[in-house]
Amino acid sequence: MRAKSRKQKLMAEINITPFTDVVLVLLIIFMVTTPLIIQASIKVNLPNASSAKPIKNSSQAYVTLSNENLLYLNGQMVSKKELRRKIESMVKDNSGLNVILFSDKLVYFKEIVAVLDILNELGVKNLNIAAKPEQSE
């Protein structure tokens, strides 16, 4: 008896479902980690505070003053005029905008007051100043 010899046809399709799953997982990972990387790239030595605690809110803007008196909004360097324009636009879109001010402890107080003045003029109601929790020794 002769065994039936059928030639199997080669499958010419590529199954992209696993590839799509991997791409979507990578997309989610990058979406979550990008804001953390941007904020961590600006070196700021925060002052200590005994009442420091994390704030969680979906609509946040990060304003950073570095010790070189450079001003950043969400990780991008801006001038005070640009800060005013961009925050004004953000407040128009979301009146409950939460602004977190990161300032190096070596920055002159007049620079911090200038930024706070801009935020106050634009009607920012939710303003927090970032600090490190005090270490108990």
The predicted pLDDT at position 21 comes to: 92
The predicted pLDDT at position 22 comes to: 92
For residue 40, pLDDT over 80 is answered with no
Q: What is the mean pLDDT of residues 63-82?
A: 89
| Mean pLDDT of the chain, nearest integer | 79
- Distance (Å) of CA 45 to CA 19, 24, 40, 64: 42, 36, 11, 11
Q: How confident is the model at residue 86 (pLDDT cuts 50, 70, 90)?
A: very high
Q: What is the mean pLDDT of residues 105-110?
A: 86
pLDDT in tens, 123-136: 888 888 877 776 65
- Cα 103 from Cα 65, distance rounded (Å): 5
- Cα 103 from Cα 96, distance rounded (Å): 22
Q: How confident is the model at residue 55 (pLDDT cuts 50, 70, 90)?
A: low
Q: ∠133-41-23 over CA atoms, to 5°? A: 110
What the chain holds in terms of domains, given with CATH numbers, is 44-133 (3.30.420.270)
CB contact burial 55-71 (16+ within 10 A = b; e otherwise): eeeeebbbbbbbeeeeb
